[in-house]
Amino acid sequence: MMRALYTAASGMMAQQANIDNISNNLANYQTTGFKKSRVSFEDLLYATMETPGTEATGGKTQIGMGVRTMNTQKMFSAGQLQETKDPYNVAIDGEGFFKVKMSDGSTAYTRDGSFEMNKDGRLCLHNGADLGVKVPADMSNIEIKGDGTIMGTRLNGDGKPEQVGQITLTKFTNPAALKAIGGNLYTETEACGSKIEETPGKNGCGVVAQGYLEKSNINIVEEMINIVTAQRSFEMNQKGVQAADEMMRSTNQLQRG
């Protein structure tokens, strides 16, 4: 009976983690470039009980010890593109990531293309992550082409467009292994496998679209169904705890009799 208590309790804790994850997905429905997470579960060790004399026939009983959360995995399916008409907003249509440099000098990756120009003319995210592109102060009519080429026209020039920068995209063999660090940013791990950094449009990295942002890949209806399912599973495991408690209570009453 004690085994039943712990087994059912493990199910409750696992579903609590599942609900926490789904709630985070729903909370980030409007977050630019957000990718939903999915919780994976695995069963725990089994207690194997053999009956004497049944070794030859292989007769044995195995009782499971419950469940635990194994990991959370990011689902990098594409989100819809939303037009903003902001010339510094860039969306990725494909599998690549923007490579940015953090304030501490480290490298991170993101699908969030809501860049803005800082006081030094550099394209950065709101958290200061630097895309590595600087637009001269005397440039206007900024145009970002699908291959990441950034063109502009000098205010006192001859009116001909000039290239002022180049956006590159990074593609990972296993993007699901990227580590989320908040702020729509990810860092590389060993499990990501090999990577390539290419001009947009090459080697499957995708192309970029100026004046657009990628929305999250959250499906509200799907997540609502998932959270109801997780809640029902939590309640069923709660019933298991109550049933085990009733059995223990009944056993104690028999002992008193």
The per-residue pLDDT for range 173-206, each reduced to its tens digit, is 999 999 999 999 999 999 999 999 999 998 889 9
CA dist 169 and 166 (Å) reads 10
2-21 burial, b at 16+ Cβ within 10 Å, e below that, comes to: eebbebbbbbbebbeebbeb
List, in sequence order, every residue forming a beta bridge with 186; answer none if it has no partner. Answer: 109, 180
pLDDT of residue 46: 82
pLDDT of residue 137: 85
Please answer whether residues 81 and 215 qualify as being in contact, where contact means their C-beta atoms are separated by less than 8 angstroms.
Answer: yes
Please answer whether residues 10 and 45 qualify as being in contact, where contact means their C-beta atoms are separated by less than 8 angstroms.
Answer: no
- Per-residue pLDDT tens digits of the chain, which is 257 residues long: 578 888 999 999 999 999 999 999 999 999 999 999 999 999 988 877 766 655 555 567 788 889 999 988 899 999 999 999 999 999 999 999 999 999 899 999 999 999 999 989 999 999 999 999 999 888 889 999 999 999 999 888 777 889 999 999 999 999 999 999 999 999 999 999 999 999 999 888 999 999 999 999 999 999 999 999 999 999 999 999 888 888 888 877 775 65
Could you give the strand order of the β-sheet that contains 162-166, starting from the edge strand earlier in sequence?
A: 139-144, 149-154, 162-166
CA dist 216 and 202 (Å) reads 24
List, in sequence order, every residue forming a beta bridge with 99; answer none if it has no partner. Answer: 109
3-state SS assignment for residue 217: coil
Neighbours of 164 (CB within 10 A): 19
User: 169-172 and 195-198: which strand pairing?
Assistant: antiparallel
